[in-house]
A and B are shown apart, each in its own frame.
Chain A
């Protein structure tokens, strides 16, 4: 009896230690990534770097800044997020409200988005590039927007769907039993899941803005600011990718760009937290 009891304690102790160890490991990862980027990035980051375009000799010497990449990334990701959300939100709602979970259409839809979700971004890039070549389009902001939208949609739908599943049936039944239509019920449900949706969507945006592979062939590169949708444009992840493999002192710029990218993503998740908190607080 005592022996059995003791082995239980040992088991509990070992399992708990493992969990703590794993958690610490993750924290160490996060801390070392942030530490590397900040310590290396902050040294080379300057006001000029983020406010100026590349100089004439950007290709051979650290000349000018990388404003083109910062704005390029934003120019591609912001419209892509808006279009992505505009497509994903109705799909999520449709799958949750208008079709039963077991209906064939929503089953197929879920399967499709699972597959899309798992496709590597380089494949999206290659696919979009093929299409662009077929229609005679060259690497441009528009191409970048399109492929980034493709990349964002499955992420948004998957996470939106997961969140929509957490809505208790009772809320839906309560609204129905008061005589609410499906659309009115949806609005009630939306209040419940909005914080989660906002977080999920901003995470998708964060993932998209950091992706180099998808924009590599589709948005191209330019040392200038894109003046129209058909101009090619630099992006932050690609700038990092280029600089990090070049001889010194270029990798320093890569770290500076990585720092800027990290700050943008951190700001995004911070904003999502603030929005979420505010929404939950007022409960709309």
Chain B
């Protein structure tokens, strides 16, 4: 199994301003996401967490009347300004686990294989099967689905679907994994399974997650970003941010003064 622990791929956000219909959503965001760590973006509802996450792989494009300035670079390449052909490769390097599990309308096997196929990876059939098995094993789904790989993916339980979505993103060998409240639609057990997976996966990938549940952030975050009304109020080592916040706003948020 290839090992990319040592690989250091910087994902940097510089002077990111974003507005929708003239309404500023993100204001001068500057961040450097650490490698092989879990970064949790926290903050009250509507503070721009999900939007920030979306700009990291330029999914904000699907929103109307949106204007964006600034740079988001992975390995020095700007995602915001990338041409369509470059964007494909950049997006491959930044996987996404959605808020609501959303399998592609195809079989379990094809869900994992799909990304590889469009990028022309693992052209041999046997190689592809091994890849599918490897990533399904990695998310702990292999034993549950190995006898029905050709069944439609939407027959899986919600918790299983979310792990499938994770396997699907991992299969294209990304450097970063974005998770937008990836556990909010799940039951406590499935939710904990995903959390544990993230902790395991950070050895090989860098994970950036948006979370509503502060306890979750406290449990698994290595690095924390506190966002308030589109501004980064505080960011840094999670223990520092959560235990010794420098800013009054962060302290209030952590105390539950507002949410």
- Which A positions have Cβ atoms within 8 angstroms of B? 100-103, 168-181, 184, 188, 191-192, 283-284
Contacts and interface: CB of A to CB of B under 8 A. Distances in A.
Contacts of B243: none
Interface centre among A174, A175, A178, A184 (most CB of B within 10 A): A178
Contact of A170 (B100, B172, B178): B100
Contact of A283 (B59, B107, B172): B107
B44 interface: no
A178 B97 CA distance: 10
9 contacts: A100-B62, A100-B64, A169-B62, A172-B62, A177-B94, A177-B169, A178-B95, A188-B106, A283-B107
B89 interface: yes
Closest 9 CB pairs of A and B: A170-B102, A177-B96, A179-B92, A178-B115, A283-B152, A179-B91, A192-B105, A191-B105, A102-B64
B57 A177 contact: yes
Contacts of A169: 62
A178 B102 contact: no
Interface of B: 57, 59, 62, 64-65, 84, 88-89, 91-92, 94-96, 98-100, 102, 104-107, 114-115, 118-119, 152, 165, 168-169, 172, 178
- Chain B contact residues, majority secondary structure: mixed
Nearest to A192: B105
A177 B118 contact: no
Contact of A171 (B59, B89, B104, B119): B104
Contact of A178 (B64, B100, B172, B178): B172
Given A175-B104, A176-B59, A192-B105, A181 B88 contact: yes
A174 B102 contact: yes
Given A174-B165, A177-B91, A283-B152, A168 B102 contact: yes
Contacts of A188: 104-106, 114
Nearest to B111: A174
Contact of A173 (B59, B106, B172): B59
B106 A283 contact: yes
Given A174-B102, A179-B119, 8 more contacts: A102-B64, A102-B65, A171-B105, A174-B98, A178-B91, A179-B118, A188-B105, A283-B105
Interface centre among B84, B98, B99, B168 (most CB of A within 10 A): B98
Nearest to A185: B118
Contacts of B94: 177
B91 A176 contact: yes
A269 to B, nearest CB: 23
Contacts of B168: 174, 178
